[in-house]
């Protein structure tokens, strides 16, 4: 069973994963530098096999890797050469060409990665480390799985797609992958203009913020969300905007309700009103038998989505655990601690979590979206849970550091020692996708709507105690955990 406890994986002794066959799009200076770095550094996990470039006559053959064809040949090359990854290494590539190359790569079953934007490439030397690549197989106990199907691409192609929380970790990765499937419009919605600027710069090679597809809006503002949907009329909505840092939300539960619950209701309401084809909520494994404010508010968001099944808009939630590669995630915190010469902090020696890469998670979210039918909660198969302390030790070894100290800081309020993907009352059911499960649609308890309005009133009044009582009344499975934190515990940097 997916939620049974397993013995910790001995990650450091695992054999290295197979290198992924990589086609580099662009045989210019950036592409050649990247290919050299990847070939010289197997730990990146990518094996360059050649280039695709339109300037075949003007360019010398960039030994030792041949130019295998033009940009229009990417699908053929990927299929013939059994390519796993296509890396676009042409800074400032025209967005339409970018979409065509991304769609061709995904049609051949390859994943798409990109070098930094044109401006970023001018500001620093382009090297393989810019790929944000790490041998995650050694960390999470399995190979990363690349999952993009023709059906998922067809669902997005020539559609208007809106992503809330577009500048966040999951939201931005969803935008990257959706962008490669040639949507008619990709609408980036976020309340943080700096995040939008960074994402537009990465996707389009410019960050002028003068496009109607970059929208500053707060999901708490129903009138504003209504205006956005009335103007854009999106076909697909990926709702990734949320407050997600567990310890912070334990201290500020009213803010969690305002964003994670009421904000979700606002976006869902607009999607239904303007008859979007699909609405997909990004949830978390912490919603299964929640013990934290984060988990409880996300479980409520799932219930809101489930109530709206059966209409013209197909709705669903997608639940998964921790991702590697997001801002503020485990690996980024560990890297900062290593660079600063600080001890690596872990809450508990036996704490386990489910892990996958951010690319995997976003790809499976897109796959789940095409399966949405009746308000399901889809749950991603994340393999077996892994002890955090094992990941920390393996990460240190990958960074060639054997002299690090590990400090156990103690569990924080709301934390579980071991997460589960399904609650005790949920039965996992197979779907047509081998990495995606579904659960039965739950019926909300009697008086749900009235209790929900009471919860909203408490949140608006910033009454933390009333919000906690309201969550307990709405969710019989919500059992807050308040462990005793050692007085000597150092501040813990992130929600692992």
H helices then E strands: how many in the chain?
A: 18, 20
Query: What is the dihedral angle through the alpha carbons of 86, 147, 169, 286, rounded to the nearest 10 degrees?
Result: -160
Name the token pair of 225: 């969300």
For residue 132, what pLDDT band results from cuts at 50, 70 and 90?
very low
Q: In the predicted model, is pLDDT for residue 150 greater than 70?
A: yes
Q: Kindly report the number of other CB atoms within 10 A of residue 333's CB atom.
A: 16
Identify the pLDDT of residue 62: 61
Confidence at 474, pLDDT banded by 50, 70, 90: very high
Q: What is the pLDDT of residue 60?
A: 60
Give the C-alpha separation, 250 to 243, whole Å.
11
Cis status, amide bond into 64, omega within 30 of 0: yes
Which three-class secondary structure state does DSSP give residue 241?
Answer: coil
The DSSP annotation for 447-484 comes to THHHHHHHHHHHHHTT-HHHHHHHHHHH-TT-----PP
| Confidence at residue 364, expressed as pLDDT on a 0 to 100 scale | 92
Q: Do 144 and 135 contact (CB within 8 A), yes or no?
A: no
**What is the model's pLDDT at position 143?**
54
* Helical packing angle, 169-179 and 95-107, nearest 10°: 90
Categorize the per-residue pLDDT at 400 as very low, low, confident or very high, splitting at 50, 70 and 90.
low
Structure confidence at residue 211 (pLDDT): 80
Q: Within its chain, how far is the Cα of 337 from the centroid?
A: 23
pLDDT digits (tens, 9 = 90+) for 204-248: 766 667 788 999 999 999 999 999 999 999 999 999 999 999 999
Specify the pLDDT at position 403: 72
Identify the three-state secondary structure at position 405: coil
Residues in the chain: 496
Work out whether the CA dihedral 35, 119, 146, 96 comes out positive or negative.
negative
Burial class (CB in 10 A: 0-12, 13-18, 19+), 443: exposed
Cβ neighbors of 453 (< 8 A, separation 6 or more) are none
pLDDT at 281: 98
Q: What percent of the chain has pLDDT over 90?
A: 44
| CA angle in degrees (0–180, nearest 5) for 329-249-405 | 40
CA distance 434 to 351: 27
Q: What is the pLDDT of residues 178-196, one digit of tens each?
A: 988 889 999 999 999 998 9
pLDDT value at residue 5 = 30
Answer whether 406's CB lies under 8 Å from 344's CB: yes
How far is the CA of 399 from the CAs of 301, 358, 370, in angstroms? Answer: 39, 20, 39
Could you read off the pLDDT of 6-49 as tens digits, one per residue?
Answer: 223 223 333 345 688 999 999 888 888 888 888 888 767 789 99
User: In whole angstroms, how far apart are CA 194 and each of 170, 189, 240?
Assistant: 16, 12, 17
Which domains does the chain show, CATH number per domain?
Answer: 19-133 (3.40.50.720), 150-439 (3.40.50.720)
Alpha-carbon distance of 465 to 57, in angstroms, equals: 71
Is pLDDT larger for residue 234 or for residue 357? 234
d(CA 313, CA 277): 5
What is the percentage of the chain residues whose pLDDT exceeds 70?
81
210 Cβ partners below 8 Å, 6+ apart? none
How does residue 347 score in pLDDT terms, banded at 50, 70 and 90?
Answer: confident
Tokens of 160: 């208007």
What phi and psi values does residue 91 have, to the nearest 5 degrees? -55, 135
Q: Give me the half-sphere count of Cα atoms (radius 13 Å) on the Cβ side of residue 315.
A: 27
Give tens-digit pLDDT for 417-455: 888 888 888 889 999 998 899 997 777 778 899 999 999
Nearest CA to 134 out of 331, 371, 301 is that of 331
C-alpha distances out from residue 43 to 37, 127, 128, 156, 449, Å:
11, 14, 10, 33, 53
Alpha-carbon span 135 to 323, nearest angstrom: 14
pLDDT in tens, 75-117: 999 999 999 888 888 876 776 787 788 778 877 878 777 765 4
Asked whether residue 485 carries a pLDDT value surpassing 70, the answer given is no
d(CA 268, CA 266) in angstroms, rounded, equals 6
Q: Which helix (H) or strand (E) holds 127?
A: none
pLDDT band at 145 (very low <50, low <70, confident <90, very high): low
């Amino acid at each position: 069973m997916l939620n049974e406890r397993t013995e910790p994986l001995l990650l450091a002794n695992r054999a290295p994963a197979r290198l992924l066959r990589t086609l580099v799009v662009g045989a210019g200076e950036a592409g050649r530098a990247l290919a050299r770095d990847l070939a010289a550094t197997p730990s990146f996990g990518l094996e360059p096999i050649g280039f695709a470039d339109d300037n075949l006559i003007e360019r010398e053959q960039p030994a030792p890797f041949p130019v295998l064809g033009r940009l229009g040949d990417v699908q053929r090359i990927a299929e013939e050469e059994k390519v796993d990854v296509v890396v676009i290494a042409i800074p400032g590539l025209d967005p339409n060409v970018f979409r065509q190359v991304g769609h061709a790569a995904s049609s051949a079953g390859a994943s798409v990665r990109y070098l930094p934007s044109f401006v970023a490439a001018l500001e620093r030397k382009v090297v393989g480390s810019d790929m944000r690549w790490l041998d995650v197989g050694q960390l999470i106990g399995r190979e990363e799985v690349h999952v993009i199907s023709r059906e998922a691409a067809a669902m997005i192609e020539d559609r208007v797609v809106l992503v809330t929380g577009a500048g966040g970790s999951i939201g931005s990765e969803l935008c990257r992958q959706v962008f490669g499937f040639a949507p008619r419009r990709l609408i980036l919605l976020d309340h943080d203009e700096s995040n939008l600027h960074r994402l537009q710069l990465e996707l389009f090679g410019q960050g002028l913020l003068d496009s109607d597809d970059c929208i500053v809006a707060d999901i708490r503002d129903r009138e504003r969300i209504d205006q956005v949907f009335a103007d854009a009329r999106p076909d697909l909505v990926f709702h990734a905007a949320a407050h997600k840092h567990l310890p912070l939300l334990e201290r500020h539960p009213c803010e969690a309700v305002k964003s994670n619950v009421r904000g979700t209701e606002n976006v869902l309401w607009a999607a239904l009103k303007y008859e979007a084809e699909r609405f997909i909520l990004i949830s978390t494994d912490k919603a299964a038998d929640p013990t934290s404010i984060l988990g409880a508010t996300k479980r409520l968001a799932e219930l809101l989505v489930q109530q709206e099944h059966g209409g013209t808009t197909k709705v669903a939630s997608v639940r998964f655990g921790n991702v590697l590669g997001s801002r503020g995630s485990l690996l980024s915190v560990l890297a900062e601690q290593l660079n600063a010469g600080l001890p690596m902090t872990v809450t508990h020696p036996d704490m386990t979590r489910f892990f996958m890469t951010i690319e995997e998670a976003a790809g499976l979210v897109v796959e789940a979206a095409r399966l949405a039918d009746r308000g399901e909660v889809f749950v991603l198969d994340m393999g077996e849970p892994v002890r955090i302390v094992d990941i920390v030790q393996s990460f240190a070894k990958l960074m060639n550091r054997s002299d690090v100290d590990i400090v156990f800081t103690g569990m924080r309020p709301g934390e579980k020692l071991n997460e589960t993907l399904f609650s005790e009352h949920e039965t996992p059911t197979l779907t047509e996708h081998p990495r995606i499960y579904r659960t039965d649609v739950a019926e909300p308890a009697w008086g749900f709507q009235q209790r929900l309005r009471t919860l909203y009133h408490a949140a608006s009044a910033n009454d933390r105690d009333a919000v906690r009582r309201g969550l307990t009344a709405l969710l019989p499975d919500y059992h807050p955990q308040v462990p005793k934190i050692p007085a000597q515990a150092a501040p813990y940097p992130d929600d692992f």
